[in-house]
Amino acid sequence: MTRHSDPTQVQLTADGRLKHFLTTEGLSKTLLTEILDLADSFISTQERAVKKVPLLRGKTVVNLFFENSTRTRSTFELAAKRLSADILNLDIARSATSKGETLMDTLWNLEAMYSDMFVVRHADSGAAHFIAEQVTPGVAIINAGDGRHAHPTQAMLDMLTIRRHKGTIEGQVVAIVGDILHSRVARSQIHALLTLGAKEIRVIGPATLIPKEMEDLGANIYFDFEQGLAEVDVVIMLRLQKERMSDALLPSEGEYFKLYGLTEAKLALAKPDAIVMHPGPINRGVEIDSAVADGAQSVILNQVSYGIAVRMAVMAMAMSGQVAEQQSLAAKKNESDSPQSANSGAPA
Amino acid sequence: MSTLTISHAQVLDPSQDLNQLSDVVIESGLIKAITPTGEPPSEQPQLNANKSLLIPGLIDLSAHINNASTEVLAAARGGITHLCTQPNSKPLIDTPANVSLLQQASEKANLSRLLPIGALTQNLEGDQLANMYSLKQAGCVALSNARAPIKNALVLRRIMEYATTHDMLIMLTAEDFDLSANGKMHEGPTANRLGLTGIAEIAETTSLAQQLLLVELTGCRVHFSQLSCGRSVDMIRQAQAQGLPITADVAIANLMFTDLDVNGFDSTFYVQPPLRSELDRQALLAGVNDGTLAICSNHSAQDIAAKKAPFAAAEPGMSILDTWLSMMLTLVHKGELELSSAINASSLLPAKILGMKEGLQLNQPANLVVVNQDTEVCYSAESMASAGKNSPVLGDILMGEVKLTLSSGREIFRA
């Protein structure tokens, strides 16, 4: 008895343009490709002496990080500045909500300050959807990570990395290795990879970290790292959090590295031109050997620089879609407020 | 002596194989006669039911009530004449004094009757036994720990032994809290896709298996509340066939919705126990249709702020009382639930479980509902009497409009 509209469509305008960026799920190949193309064009502007473009001039972007992340927040801040926006960093974790103000009150106050875009990171899955749908629908929401659900800008910068290094995403065999269970990055990557035509997505790790339902998302499950690496074009290593040991999901970092740590010997099982990626920050000697992280096949540092371009692209697109939608809503409202004005000719 | 006749009612009471167009005579609050329509009309004040259904009043085995005055009104409008209130109400039903507070609230409102369920353990902490016997003496119809954990199997064994000593009914939920691991919805493809922590089926079934073994040992009379898994229905059937003194119910939400309804992070569909798969829903419906399971509302009114939060941060629960009967009749209309099974599960079986007189018996209090089964109804936040507008069916077209609810012959609701 499902009666809800497709949640993935919340982020689109009536004519299919991006107005929020909440998840890679449900977005068309055309739209995802548009993000990558625009990001590509921003990479060339970043190589110039003057790096700024005026797409968000006069707009106010608020970084709302309910979870701390200096790295991600900095790249969003830089991206907003390069788009000429005014940016406000709000450390919500320490300010408003601790004074007893609710999440909604905080957001409404910020909206009243004429904010145009919120970049949201929150520990609860669905937080960005909730804000976009129920709290401040007139503000463009960019999801910078919600619980285990989605981290779409990270996934898109990974897509850009693959495209720039492998030429295309179509036909690639991609392995995602490690803690899939807790990974919002992996979920967002799987949706984007499938839409963009990857040949096969493998998720590799122990059963404690790989939900069997990953198959429903379209990924193949491998418990054996060696088998899973055969014929792979792209290896994405995920960060292993220390808590996984105390949660009884793994015995030790040492045993994990023995089974799922990426070494030069294991990488040799993948295709010779396979690239190695990692969303960072890396745990050397836990999920990846230093020789591989710093080796010729690693593109980990390039990922970081692409991150700014991808965030510029989604911010520019969502803002433009949101502005268009607000204008069309305002036009409709004017029509309904004065129904006769179109026909009445001269005022009475 | 006041007298009322409801004429031209399609009287349905599966406990007496009664299903015909009849006139029902009520005198001094008691049912005095049920006679086939067509005989000469009497001189008494009459109410023509126009072939609407007349069924026994609903008895809700599980509701969470914080504000008795609005919620009994919602219950009366929903055709509910009796509702069992879980002990985690405000104030906690853990002392005889609080039991009588609730009884006074029920008498003052004088609408649907509240039947208090007392706490099994002190403060519902799952640790030390509450004054179980005193709570029974004070008028508790059963004892439960709401959905709060009982510390361990030893405490549970002692609860059962003590309850058996004093012939008490206890109501238990089946949940292993280590296995449910603070989960928020059914463990399955939807939870994985949304990145929400799942509650595995085994969190319910392993706990149920353990509790059934303890029933076997102690002989305690146990009612299992709010089962959510298809597998659990099989286990209940098997245990009943084995002769164990157990009964069970399912919340109406688990008969109507599945984990797919959580799609879109809609916190209205955040409930405990969680909405499970379509296979589970079908198995639960089969359990109601074959008489294994009763149906409860598991009503929990929440204010808007409690639900307006990201899914996992919202409060669980749905506001059901206003719409309970219409929800059931909608399932009947869709052919998923048999009408006689729905009446059995929401009135006859609960009466038996609570040791009350079941059905529409002569010379017994007239607790009954007149409902037009074929009328479409649509509820809005404004049309609900409950203080909680967290209903999963707002704006939906449902079947069945309640016309009249009588409690001991007294009109507690008329449309």
> Cβ contact (<8 Å) for B311 and A124?
yes
Tens of pLDDT, residue by residue over A114-124, are: 899 999 999 99
Tell me whether residues B193 and A217 touch, CB distance under 8 A: yes
User: Nearest chain A Cα to B261, which residue?
Assistant: A2
* Beta bridge partner(s), residue B404: B370, B414
Interface residue A242 vs chain B (CB under 8 A): no
Residue A344: pLDDT band by 50, 70, 90 thresholds?
very low
Rounded to an integer, the average pLDDT of B305-334 is: 94
Report the distance separating Cα B356 and Cα A187, nearest Å. 53
* pLDDT higher than 50, residue A1: no
Average pLDDT over residues B91-100: 93
Q: Is B194 on the interface with A (CB under 8 A)?
A: yes
pLDDT at A71 over 80: yes
pLDDT computed for residue A2 by the predictor: 41
Which of A294-302's residues contact partners 24+ apart within 8 Å by CB, and which partners? A295/A264, A295/A267, A297/A267, A297/A273, A299/A161, A299/A165, A299/A275, A300/A276, A302/A161, A302/A164, A302/A165
Residue A1 forms contact with B (CB below 8 Å): yes
Mean pLDDT of all residues in A228-249: 91
Dist. CA B370–CA B358, nearest whole Å: 17
Residues A100 and A211 in one domain: no
Do B30 and B61 fall into the same domain? no
Q: Which residues of chain A make contact with B198, given a CB cutoff of 8 A?
A: 211
Shortest CA gap A212–chain B (Å)? 9
Which position has the token pair 């209090």? B365
pLDDT at residue A345, rounded to an integer: 42
Interchain pair A4, B193: CB under 8 A: no
Residue A3 has pLDDT above 50, yes or no: no
Could you give the percent of chain B with pLDDT greater than 90? 91
Confirm whether A328 is domain-assigned.
Answer: no
B181 Cβ under 8 Å from any chain A Cβ = no
Shortest distance between the Cα of B293 and any Cα of chain A, in A, equals: 21
Smallest CA–CA distance, residue A89 to chain B, in Å, is: 22
pLDDT tens-place string over residues A261-290: 999 999 999 999 999 999 988 999 999 999
For residue A135, give its domain range.
7-150+304-323
Show contacts of B327-332: CB within 8 Å, 24+ apart.
B327/B252, B327/B256, B327/B393, B327/B398, B328/B252, B328/B295, B328/B400, B329/B371, B329/B373, B329/B398, B329/B399, B329/B400, B330/B256, B330/B398, B330/B399, B330/B400, B331/B255, B331/B256, B331/B285, B332/B373, B332/B399
Residue B360, in any domain of the structure: no
Determine whether the interchain pair B261/A127 forms a contact, defined as Cβ–Cβ distance below 8 Å: no
Beta-sheet pairing, A86-90 with A140-146: unpaired
**Same-domain status, B316 and B384:** no
Give the position of tokens 């509240």. B114
Q: Is B63 on the interface with A (CB under 8 A)?
A: no
Cα of B399 to nearest chain A Cα, Å: 15
Residue A345 lies in a domain: no
User: Tell me, what's the pLDDT at A100?
Assistant: 55
Sequence-separated contacts (24+) of B113-116 with Cβ below 8 Å? B113/B81, B113/B82, B113/B83, B113/B407, B114/B65, B114/B68, B114/B72, B114/B83, B114/B85, B115/B82, B115/B83, B115/B84, B115/B85, B115/B141, B115/B354, B116/B84, B116/B85, B116/B87, B116/B140, B116/B141
Is the bond leading into B91 cis (omega within 30 degrees of zero)? yes
% residues pLDDT > 70 (chain B): 98
Q: From A211, which residue of chain B is nearest by alpha-carbon distance?
A: B192
Q: From the CA of B259, how many Å to the nearest CA of chain A?
A: 9
Answer whether B195 sits within 8 Å of A149, measured CB to CB. Answer: yes
At B392, which CATH number? 2.30.40.10
Whether residue A126 and residue B188 make contact (CB cut-off 8 A), yes or no, is: no
**Interface mutation target, options B265, B331, B333, B391, chain A, most CBs of A under 10 Å:** B265
Report the CATH number at residue B256: 3.20.20.140
ipTM entry = 0.89
- DSSP, collapsed to helix, strand or coil, labels residue B83 as strand
Q: Show the tokens assigned to A157.
A: 């910068």
Asked whether residue B40 carries a pLDDT value surpassing 70, the answer given is no
Asked whether residue B350 carries a pLDDT value surpassing 70, the answer given is yes
A138: number of CA atoms within 13 Å, CB side? 13
On whether any CB of chain A is under 8 Å from the CB of B258, the answer is yes
Average pLDDT taken over every residue of chain B? 95
pLDDT confidence of residue B3 = 87
Q: Do B291 and B403 lie in a common domain? A: no
A293-306 pLDDT tens trace: 999 999 998 888 89
d(CA B348, CA B356): 9
Looking at the predicted structure, is the pLDDT value of residue A7 above 70?
no
Q: What is the mean pLDDT of residues B47-69?
A: 94
Residue of A92, A130, A185, A189 to mutate, testing the B interface (most B Cβ within 10 Å of its Cβ): A130
Same domain, B195 and B138: yes
Query: Domain check: are A170 and A296 in the same one?
Result: yes
Q: Are A159 and A33 in contact (CB under 8 A)?
A: no
Q: Does residue B97 belong to the interface with chain A, where contact is any CB pair within 8 Å?
A: no
In this structure, is the dihedral angle defined by the CA atoms of residues A167, A168, A173 and A176, taken in order, positive or negative?
Answer: positive
Would B359 be classed as within a structural domain?
Answer: no
**One domain for residues A146 and A13:** yes
B113/B177 same-domain check: yes
Q: Are residues A18 and A124 in the same domain?
A: yes
The β-bridge relationship of strands B113-119 and B142-144 is parallel
A348 domain-assigned: no
pLDDT digit string, tens, across residues A9-62: 899 999 999 999 999 999 999 999 999 999 999 998 777 767 788 999 999 999
Q: Which residues make beta-bridge pairs with B13? A: B18
Nearest Cβ partner of A125 from B194, B256, B261?
A: B194
Q: Which residues 129-148 of A have a C-beta within 8 angstroms of B?
A: 129-130, 134, 146-148
Rounded to a whole number of angstroms, the distance from the CA of B373 to the nearest CA of chain A is 20
Q: Is B355 helix (H, G, I), strand (E, B) or coil?
A: coil
pLDDT of residue A107: 83
B-contacting residues of A 148-207, CB under 8 Å?
148-150, 184, 187
Nearest Cα residue in chain A from B392: A3
Question: Which CATH number belongs to the domain containing residue A180 in this structure?
Answer: 3.40.50.1370
Give yes or no for a contact between A240 and A253, defined as CB atoms under 8 angstroms apart.
yes
| The total number of structural domains that make up chain B | 2
Asked if residue A344 is part of any domain, the answer here is no
pLDDT tens-digit map of B129-174:
999 999 999 999 999 999 999 999 999 999 999 999 999 999 999 9
Output helix, strand, coil percentages for chain B, rounded to the nearest 5. 35, 25, 35
Question: Which residues in B lie closer than 8 A to residue A147 (C-beta atoms)?
Answer: 195-196, 312
User: B122 pLDDT band (50/70/90 cuts)?
Assistant: very high
pLDDT tens, residue by residue, A72-116: 999 999 999 999 999 998 877 655 455 556 777 888 888 887 899
pLDDT at A52: 83
Instruction: Report the helix count and the strand count for chain B, using DSSP H and E.
Output: 14, 19
Could you tell me if A282 and A242 are in contact, meaning their C-beta atoms sit under 8 angstroms apart? Answer: no
What is the average per-residue pLDDT within B344-365? 97
Q: Round to whole Å and give the CA distance between B279 and A286.
A: 41
In a domain, B201, yes or no: yes
- Map tokens 């936040």 to a residue: B381
Tell me the residue type at B126: G
**Domain that residue B377 falls in:** 3-52+366-414
- A109 domain residue, yes or no: yes
pLDDT at residue B38, rounded to an integer: 79
- Alpha-carbon separation of residue B238 from B207, B246, B284 (angstroms): 16, 11, 15
Q: What is the pLDDT of residue B173?
A: 97
The confidence score (pLDDT) of residue A97 equals 53
User: Which residue of A lies nearest to B395 if distances are taken between CA atoms?
Assistant: A3
Whether residue B217 is contained in a domain is answered as yes
Q: What is the pLDDT of residue B43?
A: 65
Task: Show which of B354, B379, B397 is a domain's final residue.
Answer: B354
Task: List, for residues A121-165, the tens digit of each pLDDT value.
Answer: 999 999 999 999 888 888 999 999 999 999 999 999 999 999 999
Residues A270, A164 share a domain: yes
- 8 Å CB contact of B308 and A134: yes
Does residue A156 sit in the same domain as residue A200? Answer: yes
Establish if B75 belongs to a structural domain: yes
- Give the other-Cβ count within 10 Å of A200's Cβ: 16
Looking at the structure of chain A, the number of domains it has is: 2
Asked whether residue A108 is assigned to any structural domain, the reply reads yes
pLDDT band at A341 (very low <50, low <70, confident <90, very high): very low
Whole-number pLDDT of residue A20: 96
Q: Nearest-CA distance from B59 to chain A in Å?
A: 26
Q: Which of the pair, B1 or B175, is modelled with greater confidence?
A: B175
Is it the case that residue B98 has pLDDT exceeding 90? Answer: yes
Q: How confident is the model at residue A346 (pLDDT cuts 50, 70, 90)?
A: very low
